[in-house]
Amino acid sequence: MIVRRASAERGWADHGWLQTRHSFSFADYFDPRYLGWGNLRVINEDVIAPGTGFGMHGHRDMEIVTYVLSGELWHRDSLGNVAPIHAGEVQRMSAGRGVRHSEFSGPRGPTHLLQIWIEPSVRGIEPSYEQTAFDAAAKRGRLLPIAVPAEQAAAVATGGLRPVRLHADAALYAGSFDGAEAATHTLAAGRLAYVHVVRGRIVLNGQRFDAGDAAMVQDEPALHLSDGHNAEVLLFDLAPAAQ
């Protein structure tokens, strides 16, 4: 079964310095139909004005993945990490027993990103931070693992590209597709999937999805992505429920 989550149906807020769309209930947006999917809790698509951002604030017991689409995001946290995150880079912060951080757009232009929250498999762990850059060419015509359970990270590393390590029963893949480029992802029995179209358009198991659209997937043995037009896609392979 594949249920479409249309881009225009997402929650939306305009804060002046921040334009944001919420795939799942978040902040002032609440829809009981969209509280998450499996152990995936948040996908926020944010456009942050230059030099503005989120001041220091805290998180606990959540795996937070930031996927920068354009611009530059500056991260600072209570662990002592201070680093920019550029387009093509992926950051993972495990909030664990508690961490504080801030995120600000660079001064030269707006920053466009996806922030993703995944329920961890274990709670109360030591907070940690990790960041990896992925060559755009490595995502062409395939699904590249960019975030996987920590115990699988070494095994799926490809060509020196090592995914960030999640303390969660979830894996995240990124792919770019155009024309005849295609890829298939097999789902194990009982697993859920969530497919988010970052940009462009693509066909998933015979159905067309456009930028911002998503698919909530269950009881499908395989997902086939094809007929892309300047498409970039994120695919989540998820546990049925938070662990």
In this structure, what token pair is assigned to residue 75? Answer: 């991260």
- CATH class of the domain comprising 2-238: mainly beta
The pLDDT assigned to 185 comes to 98
**Which residues of the chain fall below pLDDT 70?**
157-160, 241-243
In this structure, what token pair is assigned to residue 19? Answer: 């334009």
- What one-character-per-residue DSSP string does 84-147 give? EEETTEEEEEE-TT-EEEEEEE-TTS-EEEEEEEE--SSSSPPPEEEEEE--GGGGBTS-EEEE
Neighbours of 64 (CB within 10 A): 18
How far apart are alpha carbons 186 and 146 in whole angstroms? 17
- Over the stretch 182-202, which tens digit does the pLDDT of each residue have? 999 999 999 999 999 999 999
- The full set of domain ranges for the chain reads 2-238
Number of H helices, E strands in the chain: 1, 20
- Over the stretch 4-15, which tens digit does the pLDDT of each residue have? 999 999 999 999
